[in-house]
């Protein structure tokens, strides 16, 4: 009777071992699925970020173009006066920073 009990216990341990291995296989499978999902999310977010950066760059280019057109509408004498004022401001700022 005692031998049967030990054999039964061994079979139960083998059964538990098989269940544990199956559980590990399922966990491994889920980890692979999760990893693939994370990679897909990473790729998507990279494309999304790149798309947003491209969109922002396009908007900045449009704004620069608009500024260039606006500058063309300013008379040359006024452009020179603005340039001189900016230059003086930069000089004053650099002197202030040095002191």
Please give the chain's pLDDT, 99 residues, in tens.
455 555 555 566 777 788 888 888 888 888 888 889 888 888 888 888 888 888 888 898 888 888 888 877 777 788 788 888 888 888 888 887 765
Q: Is residue 99 part of a domain?
A: no
Q: Which two tokens stand for residue 25?
A: 């296989």
pTM above 0.75, yes or no: no
Q: Which two tokens stand for residue 88?
A: 């003086």
Q: Is residue 48 part of a domain?
A: yes
Q: Is residue 84 part of a domain?
A: no
Q: Is residue 86 part of a domain?
A: no
Q: Is residue 93 part of a domain?
A: no
Q: In which domain, by residue range, is 52 found?
A: 2-74
Q: Is residue 11 part of a domain?
A: yes
Q: Is residue 81 part of a domain?
A: no
- Count of structural domains within the chain: 1
Beta strands per DSSP E along the chain:
none
The 8-class DSSP code of residue 1 comes to: -
Q: Is residue 37 part of a domain?
A: yes
Residue 8 is predicted with a pLDDT of: 54
């Amino acid at each position: 009777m005692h031998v049967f009990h030990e054999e039964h216990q061994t079979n139960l341990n083998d059964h538990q071992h098989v269940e544990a291995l199956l559980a590990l296989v399922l966990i491994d499978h889920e980890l692979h699925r999760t990893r693939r999902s994370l990679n897909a999310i990473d790729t998507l977010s990279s494309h999304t970020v790149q798309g947003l950066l491209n969109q922002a760059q396009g908007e900045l280019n449009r704004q620069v173009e608009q500024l260039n057109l606006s500058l063309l509408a300013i008379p040359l004498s006024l452009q020179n006066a603005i340039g001189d004022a900016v230059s003086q401001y930069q000089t004053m700022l650099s002197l202030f920073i040095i002191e």
